[in-house]
Amino acid sequence: MALAARDWLAGTELGDRFVDVRMLSAGSRCTIYTGREQATNRMVAIKIPEESAPWLSEVLDHEAAVLAAIGSHPNVVTYFQRYELEDGRPALVMEYCRSSLDDALRGDARLPLQEVTSIGIKLAGALETVHRAGVLHCDIRPRNVLLTEFGEPVLAGFDEALSIEDGTEHPPMHVTTAHTAPELLEGLPISAATDVYGLASTMYELVTGRAAFRAYLGESPAEVIVRVLSGTVAPIVSSEVPIEVSDLITWGMSSDPTQRPPSAAWFAEELGRIERREGWPRTRMVTR
């Protein structure tokens, strides 16, 4: 869909419910708009599929069901409602967030270690809650961690979420990134440890400014996948990063899921020990 068509859509079909509508981001499958909801006067994000294909509507309906089941966790993006456009496509209305961790990493920027550790604990609490609801996120990466107007990290991007019950049988993931766990690439059984990998990989990039398995100039996607499957994660070597932090993150990115921390709560507990050793304020892991 061309940009002009997206602008036309925003000015017509969304205009009955929202004012000050503008396009926030456009992906291969969905476009996200932001606007002020007339009924409540709150700023919201509106997620709409690019086309009216039934399978794509099912993806968004599944995402809405997952978010509704999780409820109001402070570190999961808040879902408000779903309604249909004139052509039958679903529109998901969610909490508006000012930016993402991906924005914070522009230009190989990095975040302070204390902040990264706190973010990791908060996201681990969100993941533990998601897992207890019977769901695996399967797409943890900086782009899918949004920042609220209060600076709190919230997990979003549940397009690829799978039921834990279906985790033993699934095709290789539709979306592959530098943070995709090896078992997702191969279509092998997945578990809570799969999301632990994504969280550890995200923290690696937050600490170093670069993903552990970033693509180098001239490198093909297939070559990147081969490196991911090899499981060779370079340790984080920095005078500002304690070896315990490097060891925990690389442990979370083990190629064999049975060799990773078995749960998000376990991973958060290890991060809490690091906070305690460093004398930092303790971050509370919130979970149902």
Together in a domain, 172 and 144: yes
- The per-residue pLDDT for 2 is 45
- The per-residue pLDDT for 14 is 77
Answer whether residue 256 is part of any domain: yes
**Contact (Cβ atoms closer than 8 angstroms) between residue 179 and residue 202:** yes
Together in a domain, 143 and 249: yes
End residue of a domain, out of 66, 95, 124: 95
Domain count, the chain: 2
Together in a domain, 73 and 152: no
- The per-residue pLDDT for 83 is 87
Answer whether residue 35 is part of any domain: yes
Closest CA to 182 of 226, 147, 222: 226
Answer whether residue 286 is part of any domain: no
Which one of the listed residues 61, 139, 159, 195 is annotated catalytic? 139
Exposure of 90 in the CB half-sphere (CA atoms within 13 A):
19
Distances (CA, A) of 266 to 22, 120, 155, 235, 279: 41, 12, 19, 21, 20
Q: Give the structural domain span for 60.
A: 3-95
Together in a domain, 62 and 154: no
Identify the segments of the chain with pLDDT beneath 70: 1-13, 15, 167-175
Nearest-angstrom CA–CA distance, 92 and 69: 15
Together in a domain, 266 and 126: yes
- Known catalytic residue at 139: yes
- The per-residue pLDDT for 1 is 44
